[in-house]
C-alpha cells in the first residue's frame, strides 16, 4: 500500500512531464496497441466471454496490462533515489575516500554517480533509461526489472491470441493452387457468427500488433536477462566498467594485487535480496552498503579515485579496425551487438578504419568514448562523443611516453 501511495502522490506536478518524451510515448503506445488488440481479437473472434476459458483468458489479459503498467509507472515516478543535496558522510574522515560533486555540492555516496540528464547524483546508478525517462537505480531497480519480465510474458500471451485469431478466422478462406495461396476475405461477410466480421482491416491490425508483440518480446526479454545477470552479481553497468578498468590498471603496472568486487555477497540469493524484497522496499538506505568481509568499506570508491588520478586508465585508447555507420542497432555487427544496443539517448558515433577512440565506459558489446579528430596529440583536441560497437575497435598498445618509462617506475605507480 505504501508503494501504491508513493506512485499516486507525486512530490510535485513536474513529475508528470516525464510522460512528455518520446520514450514513454512509444512504450505506452506499444502496451496500449498490444493489450487492446489482444482483448478485441479474443472477445470477438477467438475466445468469446460467454465461455469459461474465454472469461479466464480475458481476466489474464487485463492482469498482464495492470501489472505491466503498475511496475512501469513505479519505475518512472518513484525514481532511483537521489543523494541529498549537500550530503557528506557522518564520519568526516571518510570524505577522503569519496569524490565530490560540484553540481550537487555534495560528496558522492558509495555506488552513486552523477547523471547529466537528471542533473543529480543517483544512488546505485545503473543507467539512464529513455523508455521511462528516468534513471534506473536504488529505489526503482526492482520495479524496472519486473517490468522487463512482465512485458515479454504479456506479449507472448498476446501473440498467441493474434496467431490463433488469424488461424481460426482464415482457415476456411484459404485456397491453395499449384503456385499460389489465396485468401478470400469476402467470406467474412457470409459468416453469421461474429458480431463484427473479421475483414481486411482487422487482419492488418492484428498482423501489425503481432509484429509489435514479437519485437517487444525479443528486445525487452534480452534486457531482462542482462539486468538479472548484473543483479545476481550485485553489480551495475557502471560498476562493471570500473571493474574492467581496475583489472587493466593492475595488469599494466604489474601490481601485486587482485581487485575483488566488494559488493558481491558471495551468494546469488543474497545478491538477489539486495534488490527484491517482500515489502517492495530495497534493503538499506542507498547511501551505505554492506561489503565482503575481506574488503574495505570504500574499496570501489578508492579504486575510482585511483583511476581518476591515473590519466592512462581514466580513458582507454582504442584503434578502429572496422567501419561503423553510426546506426542505433547495426545488423552487420553481430546478433548480440544488435540486441544489446544501449537504451540511452546518448548518440552513436560514426567510425572509419584507422581512427582512434578514447573509451571512458562500456558494456559487454558496446563502448562509450571520444573520437579523436586530430591524432597529433591526445590531450586538448576536438572530439566527438558517443557509443560504438566493441567489435569495431581493438585496444591500442601502450603510448610511447608510458612505454619509455623505467620498469621499476611502472611497478611503483
Cα-Cα-Cα-Cα dihedral sign, residues 275, 279, 283, 287: positive
- Residues in contact with 221: Cβ distance below 8 Å, sequence separation at least 6, in sequence order: 148, 152
Answer for the pair 115, 128: CB distance below 8 angstroms, yes or no: yes
> Within 13 Å of residue 1, how many CA atoms lie on the same side as its CB?
0
Question: Ramachandran region of residue 336, left (φ > 0), alpha (ψ -120 to 50) or beta?
Answer: alpha
Cβ-based burial of 103 (10 A; exposed 0-12, middle 13-18, buried ≥19): exposed
Q: Cell numbers of 411, please?
A: 611497478
- Residues in contact with 123: Cβ distance below 8 Å, sequence separation at least 6, in sequence order: 80, 81, 82, 83, 109, 111, 112, 137, 138, 139, 286, 287
Q: Cell numbers of 289, please?
A: 552498503
First to last CA, the chain: 54
* 328 belongs to the catalytic site: no
Catalytic residue (choose from 34, 129, 135, 155): 129
DSSP 8-state symbol, 139: T
Tell me how far apart the alpha carbons of residues 239 and 115 are, in angstroms, rounded to a whole number. Answer: 15
Tell me how far apart the alpha carbons of residues 193 and 200 are, in angstroms, rounded to a whole number. Answer: 17
Per DSSP (E only), the strands in 84-214 are: 100-101, 106-107, 113-115, 120-122, 127-129, 134-136, 174-176, 181-183
- Residues in contact with 367: Cβ distance below 8 Å, sequence separation at least 6, in sequence order: 318, 357, 359, 361, 387, 388, 389, 390, 393
Q: Which residue has the cell 543529480?
A: 120
Catalytic positions are 129
Amino acid at each position: 500500500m505504501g508503494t501504491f501511495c508513493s506512485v499516486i502522490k507525486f512530490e510535485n506536478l513536474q513529475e508528470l512531464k516525464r510522460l512528455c518524451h518520446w520514450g514513454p510515448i512509444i512504450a505506452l503506445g506499444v502496451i496500449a496497441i498490444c493489450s487492446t488488440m489482444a482483448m478485441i481479437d479474443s472477445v470477438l473472434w477467438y475466445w468469446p466471454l460467454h465461455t469459461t476459458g474465454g472469461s479466464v483468458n480475458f481476466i489474464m489479459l487485463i492482469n498482464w496490462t495492470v501489472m505491466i503498467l503498475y511496475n512501469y509507472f513505479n519505475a518512472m515516478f518513484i525514481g532511483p533515489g537521489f543523494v541529498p543535496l549537500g550530503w557528506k558522510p557522518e564520519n568526516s574522515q571518510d570524505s577522503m575516500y569519496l569524490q565530490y560533486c560540484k553540481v550537487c555540492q555534495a560528496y558522492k555516496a558509495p555506488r552513486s554517480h552523477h547523471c547529466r540528464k537528471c542533473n543529480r547524483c543517483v544512488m546505485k546508478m545503473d543507467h539512464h533509461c529513455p523508455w521511462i525517462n528516468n534513471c534506473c537505480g536504488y529505489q526503482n531497480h526492482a520495479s524496472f526489472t519486473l517490468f522487463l519480465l512482465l512485458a515479454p510474458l504479456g506479449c507472448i500471451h498476446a501473440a498467441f491470441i493474434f496467431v490463433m485469431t488469424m488461424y481460426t478466422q482464415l482457415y476456411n478462406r484459404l485456397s491453395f493452387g499449384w503456385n499460389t495461396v489465396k485468401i478470400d476475405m469476402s467470406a467474412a461477410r457470409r459468416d453469421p457468427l461474429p458480431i463484427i466480421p473479421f475483414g481486411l482491416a482487422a487482419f492488418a491490425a492484428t498482423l501489425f500488433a503481432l509484429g509489435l508483440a514479437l519485437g517487444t518480446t525479443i528486445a525487452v526479454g534480452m534486457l531482462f536477462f542482462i539486468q538479472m545477470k548484473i543483479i545476481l552479481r550485485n553489480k551495475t553497468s557502471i560498476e562493471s566498467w570500473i571493474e574492467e578498468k581496475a583489472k587493466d590498471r593492475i595488469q599494466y603496472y604489474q601490481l601485486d594485487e587482485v581487485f575483488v568486487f566488494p559488493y558481491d555477497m558471495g551468494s546469488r540469493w543474497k545478491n538477489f535480496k539486495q534488490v527484491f524484497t517482500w515489502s517492495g522496499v530495497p534493503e538499506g538506505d542507498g547511501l551505505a552498503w554492506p561489503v565482503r568481509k575481506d574488503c574495505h568499506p570504500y574499496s570501489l570508491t578508492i579504486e575510482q579515485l585511483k583511476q581518476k588520478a591515473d590519466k592512462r586508465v581514466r580513458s582507454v585508447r582504442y584503434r578502429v579496425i572496422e567501419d561503423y555507420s553510426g546506426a542505433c542497432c547495426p545488423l552487420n555487427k553481430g546478433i548480440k551487438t544488435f540486441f544489446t544496443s544501449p537504451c540511452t539517448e546518448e548518440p552513436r558515433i560514426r567510425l572509419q578504419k584507422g581512427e582512434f577512440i578514447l573509451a571512458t565506459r562500456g558494456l559487454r558489446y558496446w563502448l562509450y568514448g571520444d573520437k579523436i579528430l586530430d591524432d597529433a596529440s591526445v590531450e586538448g583536441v576536438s572530439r566527438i562523443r558517443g557509443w560504438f560497437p566493441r567489435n569495431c575497435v581493438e585496444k591500442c598498445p601502450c603510448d610511447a611516453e608510458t612505454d619509455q618509462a623505467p620498469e621499476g617506475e611502472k611497478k611503483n605507480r
